Amino acid sequence: MCEKFNCCTEKRLRECFGHAGGRLTGPRRAMVDFFHMEKGHFTAEEVFEKLSEKYPGIGVATVYRTLSAMADFGILKRFDFGKGKVKYELSDGHEGVRHHHHLVCSACGKILEYDDFMDEEKAFFNKIKKTLSTRYNFLIKGHSLHFYGFCQKCQKEYEKAK
């Protein structure tokens, strides 16, 4: 199962789940597999529904719990685009996942990814981080950036409404 993904070894997964003796259960393996196979951004509800097909009987609570654990540990990245539902995606560093940001449609909620300008961004943000850390006595662990607006499909409606 998870051994297929050398980005998430069994050892790493055991660390992830429970700081003292986390068990590698069926539901947890299924969740890990899900995010390694299906690329994209999912709400807890979506994970529950899609996963139920392959893993019937899984409970909603387990999905929420496992998502939290994986996000806290760093395997998943948590997003909150302000639509009431939190979304998760495989974090940077996994096979085939590069650091990227999102274009979020305010109308239909569609999410586009981009990874252009990442070198320039890195240079800029590193400089910022260094200064802010010392100036505000703040230990920076990460950043969140996204652009919001309207996707191609929703632009016409927006122009009409305005």
Comparison of 6 and 137: residue with beta carbon closer to its own copies? 137
Query: Using CB under 8 A, which of 58, 141, 157, 160 touches its own copies?
Result: 141
Helix (H, G, I), strand (E, B) or coil at 36: helix
Distance CA 60, CA 67 (A): 11
Of 97-156, binders to DNA (CB under 7 A) are none
User: CA 99: distance to chain centroid?
Assistant: 11
| Binding piece for its own copies, criterion CB under 8 A, among 5-13, 39-47, 60-68, 98-106 | 98-106
DSSP line for 47-77 = HHHHHHHHSTT--HHHHHHHHHHHHHHTSEE
| Binding piece for DNA, criterion CB under 7 A, among 14-22, 112-120, 121-129, 130-138 | 14-22
Which among DNA, Zn ion, its own copies, none contacts residue 21 (Cβ within 5 to 8 A by kind)? DNA
User: CA 79: distance to chain centroid?
Assistant: 6
Nearest alpha-carbon partner for 149 in 114, 98, 99 = 114
Query: Using CB under 8 A, which of 4, 92, 144, 157 touches its own copies?
Result: 144
- Binding residues (CB under 7 A) for DNA: these are 14, 17-18, 21-28, 43-45, 57-62, 64-66, 68, 84-86
